Amino acid sequence: MEPDANARAQLLLTANLEIGLHEQTRLQPEIREALDAAYVTQDALGRRILDALLPRGTRARRAVPDPLAAAALHRIGTRIEGHGAELARGVITRSLMVLSLPGRILYLGAHLADPFPEALRAITDQDLEALIGHFEPAVPTDDCGARDWSALTQRMHYILHLFRSWHERPELASAPFTAAQLTSIRAGAIPTGDL
């Protein structure tokens, strides 16, 4: 075991971040798919635009072959879909993505201003410094909040600040449920109170 408290804290943070990166990388397709579920695809959007401009059964619709119209509208739909997807992911990240911790709810799209503990203020471990360098902007900003939670680098930037600032918080080691909540869970009910 590492006898130096600062070195030990940095080794633990490195390990936690590497595990976090592995999990976030493994879950990347599912996270992206979940955040992209809020909007329609470019093909569906193209069909909706075609139906709005040239309603089915009209003379104008019959005059324009569907494959030709679909190809033209697919291009338009692709551009609109790209902007719509980006907008939807941003709104979801800012408004819905939260993390409940003991006594606190964190918005993952907002900056986490908590200070780093003394042991993790000055980084001396080269592996940790390199890992931080992958996710911390070259000029550190005062905003680690993710704009788009589906972007791995944005998620890891937030997670880096979360793990580093909460590294020594004793409430993280507290029991996750009260005795009454455990009783509810065992009975198959959703417990009340903070979860």
Q: Please report the DSSP string for the chain in residue order.
A: ---SHHHHHHHHHHHHHHHHHHHHHHHHHHHHHHHHTTS--HHHHHHHHHHHHS-TTSHHHHHS-HHHHHHHHHHHHHHHHHHHHHHHHHHHHHHT-EEEETTEEEETTS---PPPPGGGTS---HHHHHHHHHHS-SS--S----S-TTSHHHHHHHHHHHHHHTTT-GGGGS-SS-HHHHHHHHTT-PPPS--
| Strand pairing category for 98-101 and 104-107 | antiparallel
Phi first, then psi, for residue 57 (nearest 5°) are 85, -10
pLDDT of residue 126: 96
pLDDT per position as a tens digit, 52-70: 777 777 777 677 666 766 6
Residue spans of the chain under pLDDT 70: 38-47, 50, 61, 64-66, 68-70, 73-74, 77, 81, 138-141
pLDDT of residue 102: 85
Residues 115, 117, 119, 125, CA torsion sign: negative
pLDDT per position as a tens digit, 74-110: 677 677 767 777 777 788 888 788 998 888 999 999 9
- Give residue for tokens 């104008």: 60
pLDDT of residue 154: 94
